[in-house]
Amino acid sequence: MKICRTIDELKQWRKSQTKSIGFVPTMGALHQGHRSLMLKSKEKSELLVVSIFVNPTQFLAGEDFETYPQREDSDFAICERVGVDCLFLPTKEMMYEKDELSVLAPAVRSYTLEGTSRPGHFDGVLQIVLKLFNLVQPQYAFFGKKDAQQLSMIGHMVNRLFLPLEIIPCETVREDDGLALSSRNVYLSKTQRVDALQLSKSLRKASTMVLSNIFDTKAIIDEMHTFFEDSDDVAVEYIAIVSRSFEELSAVELQNTIIVLAVKVGKTRLIDNLWI
């Protein structure tokens, strides 16, 4: 595994490659969800590049940038076992300067749901992803469906900036009890982890309702809210039912619907979704 700690090292490695490249950008604290993205990449492309960079521009004031989990040794071990060909480890000073270029997410779609709770977040996401795409120059990039709005924004950027790569959405990986894997799960206490299971349970209830031909989005959302009423340590930020392009729906549309939710369990903010 080639480890590139500078942009010049990455550029030199990239110049010598002629095979197809799959790319998995991460913020580290790697888990089985990241591993599944890497394995998907190895199925579709000849070489695998992974980046680890905790991107400051997508964190808002008061969020967990300074305490975001970092586990370099275990991250390296996971990458080695999967068979990563190149691991890119940039620093903030390499990726940004004081008088930095801005990337602005779409004005309407980026200020709904995640954007309402985290204004400017998607500007920072698109800024760093565009930089990484330009450096790695992959044919394919792999992102999890759990971050559905992020996935939609990145796909839109690739399409509208005519970037020469394909975005590959990958299924959410869950624990045996249904909790979606997230690097932030380590923040949860034992009690909070039990509370966090209500996210996936509420989504399973929504799925059952759709399978029973209940398509009214208000009825589904109201039912999902009941899963969070009994805990004082849980606060729902939003539950919404949207199209794949993140337009609000009044009725579920098969093959074009995502049920999304964001919930704070204690101080830990968790997101999850169901694609229908």
Distances (CA, A) of 261 to 75, 126, 237: 28, 21, 7
Which residue in 150, 88, 99 sits closest to 125, CA to CA? 150
The one-letter amino acid at 39:
L
The per-residue DSSP string of 138-173 comes to -SEEEEETTSHHHHHHHHHHHHHTT-S-EEEEEPPP
Which residue in 222, 227, 221 sits closest to 202, CA to CA? 227
Cα–Cα distance for residue pair 165/158, rounded to 1 Å: 7
Q: Do residues 259 and 206 lie in contact, with contact meaning Cβ atoms separated by under 8 Å?
A: yes
Q: Is the dihedral of CA 1, 185, 136, 17 positive or negative?
A: positive
Q: Do residues 270 and 201 lie in contact, with contact meaning Cβ atoms separated by under 8 Å?
A: no
Beta bridge pairs of residue 166: 140
* Active-site entry in 31, 34, 121, 156: 34
Cα–Cα distance for residue pair 156/166, rounded to 1 Å: 11
Cα–Cα distance for residue pair 182/153, rounded to 1 Å: 20
Which residue in 60, 61, 67, 1 sits closest to 28, CA to CA? 67
Residue 34 is a catalytic residue: yes
Catalytic residues: 34
